[in-house]
Amino acid sequence: MEVVITLSPQHAAEVAADSICRLLEDDPRSVLGLATGSSPLALYRALIARHRDGQVSFAQARAFTLDEYVGLPPGHAESYREVIRRELEDHVDFPAGAVTGPDGHAGDLSRAGRDYEEAIVSAGGVDLQVLGIGTDGHIAFNEPGSSLNSLTRIKALTRQTRSDNARFFGGNLEEVPRLCLTQGLGTIRRARHLVLIATGAAKAPAVAAMVEGPLGAACPASVLQLHPHVTVLLDGPAASGLQHRDYYETAWAAKPAWQGV
Ligand code: GLP
């Protein structure tokens, strides 16, 4: 993993935006993987600003979102499909239908999971997947105990995740759905470049377990250790649990600036 300890959450967002803009410049038809949660919001704002400045276009791109709650009414403001629409899609030039998410309203959720896998494969796979990490080490909604090879499927949320996400539901834990449809760890591992953003001290234990802890289902994000191209963008507080922080800082400083992440 390439661990980059950035100066601030905004700096982390700009480094991630650089990577996405470079990808779309090289191949405007690239396939992006989009994440929800608060971690990527500064990235999306940076992409919107660059799009308005004419620096990046999504006109030929496609995107797949990571996960979706099950049990929210259609169009609910906190459904992940709505969040992506509001935070990014409505402000850039993705063509209609270019952004897709798992169908949390499907009558047959197992089938919806399989269909989603097929759609990603038919699109040629995800070129760059944006990720956040939960305080319990989940990525997408792959909670501890998830199979490291899992594919898109229905999953129950832990109480910790529901309580972390209650802030999006007026602080009311009971309003947070208990189930979701989520890309699996196997799905995420197929993406060609993974860019994970984590900021703030609350993420420090999960980040340390992901980067330096043993590989295992106790910290689902640790499966990223097996991936050949992962960029972990942190701020200082999120990096505070890392034992080898000095090494990561030296390695990043030694990298030629033109190379990017
Ligand atoms: C959510 C999402 C994840 C996200 C994580 C962290 O539950 N399913 O995709 O990365 O939890 O969220 P946040 O960035 O708000 O801390």
Rounded CA separation 120/118 (Å) = 5
**Cβ distance 236 to 228 under 8 Å?**
no
Q: What is the pLDDT of residue 214?
A: 97
> Choosing from 14, 89, 117, 138, which is the catalytic residue?
138
Q: Nearest-CA neighbor of 180 among 31, 33, 36?
A: 36
- Per-residue pLDDT reduced to its tens digit, 59-98: 999 999 999 999 998 899 999 999 999 999 999 999 999 9
Identify whether 143 is a catalytic site residue: yes
CB-ligand 1 contact for 221 (6 Å cutoff): no
pLDDT, residue 256, reads 85
Closest Cα to atom 13, ligand 1: which residue? 37
**66 C-beta closer than 6 A to ligand 1:** yes
Q: pLDDT at position 259, please?
A: 80
Write out residues in the chain with pLDDT < 70, as ranges: none
pLDDT tens figures, 171-202: 999 999 999 999 999 999 999 999 999 999 99
Q: Identify the DSSP state of 45.
A: H
136 belongs to the catalytic site = yes
**pTM of the predicted structure, to 2 decimals:** 0.97
Report whether residue 165 contacts ligand 1, using a CB cutoff of 6 Å: yes
Catalytic residue check, 103: no
Query: What integer pLDDT is reported at residue 48 of this predicted model?
Result: 98
User: Tokens 């993974």 correspond to what residue?
Assistant: 194
Q: Is 115 one of the catalytic residues?
A: no
Residues 6 or more apart whose Cβ sits within 8 Å of residue 116:
64, 100, 102, 103, 152, 181, 183
Q: How many angstroms does the Cα of residue 66 sit away from the middle of ligand 1?
A: 10
Measured distance CA(47)–CA(56) in Å, rounded: 8
Count, residues in the chain: 261
Residue 257: per-residue pLDDT: 79
Q: Report how far ligand 1's centroid is from the alpha carbon of 139 (Å).
A: 7
Eight-class DSSP state of 157? P
For residue 18, what pLDDT is reported?
97
